[in-house]
């Protein structure tokens, strides 16, 4: 079974209607099923997928998504507009699709969305914190979150952080040295 990493999930997240979502084809790819199986699960369980969990894109939204990302070009030839799954819809999909891969995918999705929320929260909190030590810890944590999101499949060997206050501006430097983690090969 292939393990899904946060980086793979994060790279598929797009914004539609002001929400971070995954399109049905990406959900299917992550869960290791066909897109029609994902849509079938929604059709068979409509009570589990209210409009704030899953919604169908309008034609103009599909065109906008294709314009932003080339990998969605096949959507222009589809007779059905894609469905978009919010974070909550993805959690609900986990209750419908049951397999070891579905469980691993759900865990990766939950962790990715949590890190994105934490990063957003930290970035907005930085400007409000007046205590220098607290700001320094917050910036350190923000750098670590950003590093995890960008290079989640690597192992940290060293980190270095420094905070430099310059009158009204805060400068932050966070250097992370990482190496690819090597997974042991299984004996066959």
For residue range 120-170, list pLDDT tens digits in order.
777 777 777 777 787 777 777 777 766 665 555 545 455 444 444 343 444
For the full predicted model, state whether its pTM sits above 0.75: no
Interatomic CA distance for residues 62 and 68, integer angstroms = 10
Q: Exposure of 112 by Cβ count < 10 A (0-12 exposed, 13-18 middle, 19+ buried)?
A: buried
Per DSSP, the three-state class of 181 is coil
């Amino acid at each position: 079974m292939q393990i899904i990493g946060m980086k793979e999930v994060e790279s598929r997240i797009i914004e539609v209607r002001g929400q971070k979502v995954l399109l049905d084809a990406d959900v299917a790819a992550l869960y290791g099923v066909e897109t029609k199986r994902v849509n079938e699960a929604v059709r068979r369980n409509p009570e589990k997928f209210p409009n704030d969990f899953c919604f169908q894109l309008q034609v103009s939204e599909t065109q906008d998504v294709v314009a932003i990302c080339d990998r969605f070009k096949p959507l222009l030839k589809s007779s059905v507009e894609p469905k978009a799954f919010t974070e909550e819809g993805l959690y609900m999909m986990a209750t419908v699709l049951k397999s070891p891969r579905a469980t691993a995918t759900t865990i990766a999705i939950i962790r990715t969305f949590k890190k994105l929320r934490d990063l957003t929260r930290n970035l907005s909190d930085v400007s409000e914190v007046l205590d220098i030590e607290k700001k320094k810890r917050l910036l350190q944590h923000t750098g670590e979150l950003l590093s995890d999101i960008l290079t989640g499949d690597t192992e940290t060997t060293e980190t270095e952080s420094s905070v430099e206050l310059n009158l009204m501006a805060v400068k932050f430097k966070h250097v992370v040295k990482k190496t690819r983690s090597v997974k042991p090969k299984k004996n066959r």
